[in-house]
Amino acid sequence: MGKSKPSPWDVPDKALGFKLLVTMGDVDAYQVYFAAYYRWMDLGFHLLIQNAGMSMKDLLAAGIAMPAVHSECDYFKPVNIDQILECRVWFGSFGRSSFSVKAVFKDKDSDVVAQGEVVHVYVENGKPCRIPKWLEDICEYGNVSVGGENHL
């Protein structure tokens, strides 16, 4: 028996918003290729880090990484080329060394077309370790600015 269809998530006020234009590189013969949402969730994660005043390049140079260890995405409505989507991303739950990033994608009618979550582990010098205070604060309190930056 199949899994029941999940309900769209409520987007918290702390979520970061940006817009995306669906291009030829995002679609297959029919609609948005499923993996495009993962690329967009990764973009959202990078924007969250940047909006917190950090640079992923500098973090990596310092031996800090945050690899993905789990991901999932639910698709509610087909999306086609030339559509503009609004993406809202935020840090979800966090534990000792892991945290999640959630994303909701909406079309021009504000219908949720997809939602996804990626779980990351905080790693220093190749070993998982406790999430530092700056990242814990971002995860818990949403210390990021809510923006309307376009990535069209």
What are the E-state strand segments in the chain? 16-21, 64-65, 68-75, 84-94, 98-106, 112-121, 123-124, 127-128, 148-151
pTM to 2 decimal places: 0.86
Other Cβ atoms less than 10 A from the Cβ of 120: the count is: 22
Helix, strand, coil fractions of the chain, as percent rounded to 5: 25, 35, 40
Amino acid at 146: V
How confident is the model over 55-81, as pLDDT tens digits? 999 999 999 999 999 999 999 999 999
Domain boundaries, the chain: 16-145
Q: Which CATH class is domain 16-145?
A: alpha beta
152 residues of the chain, pLDDT tens digit each: 556 667 888 898 889 999 999 999 999 988 999 999 999 999 999 999 998 888 999 999 999 999 999 999 999 999 999 999 999 999 998 899 999 999 999 999 999 999 999 999 999 999 999 999 888 888 776 644 434 444 43
Q: Quick check: helix, strand or coil at residue 27?
A: strand
